[in-house]
Amino acid sequence: MRALRLRAFGQDPQIEMIPRPVPATGEVRIRIKACGLNFADLLMINGTYQDTPPLPFTLGMEISGIVEAHGEGVSSPPIGSSVAVFGGSGGLADYTCVNAARVTPLPEGTDMNAAAALQVAYGTSHVALDYKAKLKKGEVLLVLGAAGGVGLTAVEIGKLMGATVIACARGADKLAIAKAAGADHLIDASCEDIHAAVKALGGADVVYDPVGGKQFTAAMRACNPEARLLSIGFASGDVPQIKANHLLVKNLTVIGFYWGGYMGFKPEVVTDSLTTLAGWLHEGRITPHISHALPLDQALEGMALLKTRKSTGKVVITLVD
C-alpha cells in the first residue's frame, strides 16, 4: 500500500510502498477514504510536536474510512461500516490499524471528506468550549485566528451554544468566511486594534486562542471579570508570557488545552464529543469548511497551504481506490 512516510526530521516526507498492516488484538483495519491535515503535521515533520512518533512513521492524524478487518477480540464496529478515528499518525496511507475503542461509528450516508475534517478541529473547539470553558448562552466569545482550521469551528460551535461571537482574522476574505460561519462581529487583525475593538463591543467572557503572541495579550486586556482564556496553540510562533498579577485584577482564568492529550488519560471525553459531533454533522447542524481536497500525491502541496496560511478551514487528502 501507499504511505506518506517521514524518515528524518526537517526533510520532506515521501510516498513509499509498504506492506498492508494486519490488525493486532483489539484493533481494526480501516481502508482510508480521507485524511484531514493539521498544523501538528508540520510540527511532526520538524520533530517539535509533543506526540511525535519515533522515526520512521506515516503522517496523518485524523481519518474517515471503512472497517475492513477485525483483530482478535473485536466484533464491532461491523466490517463494512463507515467510521472516523483520531489515530495521531498513520492516516496518510491506503490502510491503517487502530484500537477499536478509539473508533467513532458514522451514520449511514455521512460525507467522508467532512468526517475526516471534523475530528481535530471540531473536537478541539467542542471540548474546549463546552467541557473546559463551560461557555454559557449569552456570553461573549472572542475567537482569534477565526478563519483557520480550529478557529472557524469555534465560531460555528460558539453560535450553536448560544454565544455572541467576535471573530478576529486577517483580511476581508477571511473575515467573510467567519461571518458565513455565524460570527456576529468582525475584527481585522491586520489593521485594527484588537483590544480597543473588543472593549468597544463590551469585552469578552471567553477567549479562544490558537494564535498566541501579541493577540493573546491584547485579548486578555479586553476580558471581562471572571473571563476564561483558552490557550489552544501558537500559530504565530510566539508563546505569550503571562504576568500572574494581571490575572488577579479581573479574576481571570487561563486554561491550557490539548485535545489529543485526553486520549491518554480520559479518552471518553474525546469519544463522547466525537459521537455528538458526528450526529450534528449528519443532522446538518455543522458544516466543515474544506478549502482544498487533494489526492495523496499532492499531500505536500496541502501542507504548504497550511504553512503559508493560504488555506481556510481544512485541507483534506482523499484516498482513491
- Give residue-wise pLDDT tens across range 197-238: 999 999 999 999 999 999 999 999 999 999 999 999 887 788
CB 86 within 8 A of CB 108: no
Pairing of strands 2-6, 103-105: unpaired
Q: How far apart are CA 48 and CA 9, in angstroms?
A: 9
pTM: 0.84
Looking at residue 33, what is its pLDDT?
Answer: 97
Give the percent of the chain with pLDDT over 90: 76
Looking at residue 263, what is its pLDDT?
Answer: 82
Looking at residue 303, what is its pLDDT?
Answer: 94
Report helix, strand or coil for 141. strand
Looking at residue 67, what is its pLDDT?
Answer: 97
Looking at residue 235, what is its pLDDT?
Answer: 79
> For the chain, percent helix, then strand, then coil, each to nearest 5?
35, 30, 40
Nearest CA-CA partner of 13 in 21, 22, 4: 4
Looking at residue 264, what is its pLDDT?
Answer: 81
Q: How far apart are CA 205 and CA 8, in angstroms?
A: 44
Q: How far apart are CA 8 and CA 46, in angstroms?
A: 9
CB 273 within 8 A of CB 123: yes
Report helix, strand or coil for 112. helix
Looking at residue 321, what is its pLDDT?
Answer: 61
CB 232 within 8 A of CB 124: yes
Looking at residue 238, what is its pLDDT?
Answer: 81
Beta carbons within 10 angstroms of residue 153's beta carbon: 31
User: Is the bond preceding residue 56 a cis peptide, omega within 30 degrees?
Assistant: yes
Looking at residue 313, what is its pLDDT?
Answer: 75
Report mean pLDDT in 10-residue bins for the chain, 321 residues.
96 96 97 94 92 94 96 94 93 96 89 92 95 97 92 94 97 93 95 96 97 94 97 86 90 94 87 91 89 95 90 87 61
The length of the chain in residues reads 321
CB 186 within 8 A of CB 175: yes
The amino acid present at 299, given as its one-letter code, is: A
